[in-house]
């Protein structure tokens, strides 16, 4: 398998859009067939890819011409939702309420600084309860979700690895903004911790998808046949990610300095 060409950054500029200063990075990729503008909503930035190093000026001009399209993309995702007391956040696809319960040492000793309470026990929505110093609520909820994601993704990846008769060299969970999962030529698997916010069948699909890449490092017919072998009806999960996945990036985001969280859009030069 050929090693992919990593685009090289050529220029950094800024666009003023609806009173916002939006960073614009121009990168050179010789494999690109035309100038492409991508909006990274998780970072609130614009990436312009050009096939020619001598085409930076034209690439920036094209980005400026797409100002309205860029503004439309930036407005598509709702505002960030930090993990604070009273915040409504999804966990395994179900709405939960973050509830800070103060310094309660008996709960912390028995359950840890963060734990989940079922809706049957609250009489309403299920809750993610947090103890300790109030300034640490965001960090503690994030750490708890990452731990749950790591446990679940490790379990599901190993399950599909046994099913496909393959062995991953490493399984990691990260805070990625452009991919839900990846598989390297060395069989190393990486997943976004935000998958723990999605419904279980969606997390399951991504785990099976990436493990299947250990056998087939492409998206050919044999690859999809292998995915279908594990998950006969994977299309709903795939559609859920395409529709709702970008919005997951807004949860746990700090609203200061961010426009919104989630996903990318692209606009190619004609």
Domain borders along the chain are 8-78+256-268, 88-250
Question: Does the pLDDT value for residue 43 go beyond 50?
Answer: yes
Residue 53's pLDDT is 79
CA-based nearest residue to 92, from 199, 173, 5: 199
Q: Which two tokens stand for residue 243?
A: 């529709």
Structure confidence by residue, pLDDT tens digits, 103-117 = 766 655 567 899 999
- Asked whether 138 and 189 are in contact (CB, 8 A), the reply is no
**245/242 Cα distance (integer angstroms):** 6
Beta 8-17 vs 88-91: how paired, if at all? unpaired
Residue 263's pLDDT is 42
Assigned CATH topology for domain 88-250: Zincin-like (3.30.2010)
CA-based nearest residue to 217, from 205, 226, 228, 204: 226
- pLDDT confidence bin for 260, thresholds 50/70/90: very low
Question: Does the pLDDT value for residue 57 go beyond 90?
Answer: no
Contacts of 162 (CB under 8 A, 6+ apart): none
């Amino acid at each position: 398998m050929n090693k992919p060409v990593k685009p090289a950054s050529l220029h950094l500029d800024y666009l003023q859009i609806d009173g916002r200063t939006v960073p614009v990075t121009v990168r050179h990729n010789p494999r690109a067939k035309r100038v492409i503008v991508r909006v990274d909503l998780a970072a609130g930035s614009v990436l312009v890819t050009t096939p020619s190093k001598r085409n930076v000026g034209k690439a920036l001009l094209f980005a400026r011409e797409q100002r309205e399209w860029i503004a439309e993309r930036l407005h598509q995702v709702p505002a960030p939702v930090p993990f604070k007391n009273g915040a409504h956040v999804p966990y395994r696809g179900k709405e939960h309420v973050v509830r800070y319960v103060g310094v309660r040492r008996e709960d912390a000793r028995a359950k840890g600084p963060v734990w989940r309470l079922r809706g049957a026990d609250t009489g309403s929505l299920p809750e993610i309860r947090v103890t300790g110093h109030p300034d640490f609520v965001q960090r503690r909820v994030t750490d708890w979700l990452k731990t749950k994601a790591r446990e679940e993704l490790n379990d599901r990846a190993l399950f599909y690895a046994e099913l496909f008769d393959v062995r991953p060299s490493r399984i990691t969970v990260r805070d990625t903004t452009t991919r839900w999962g990846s598989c390297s030529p060395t069989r190393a698997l990486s997943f976004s911790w935000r998958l723990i916010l999605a419904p279980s069948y969606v997390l399951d699909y991504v785990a099976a998808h990436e493990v299947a890449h250990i056998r087939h490092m492409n998206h050919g017919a044999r690859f999809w046949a292998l995915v279908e072998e594990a998950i006969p009806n994977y299309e709903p999960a795939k559609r859920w990610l395409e529709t709702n996945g970008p919005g997951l990036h807004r949860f746990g985001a700090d609203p200061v300095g961010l426009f919104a969280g989630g996903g990318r859009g692209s606009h190619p030069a004609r």
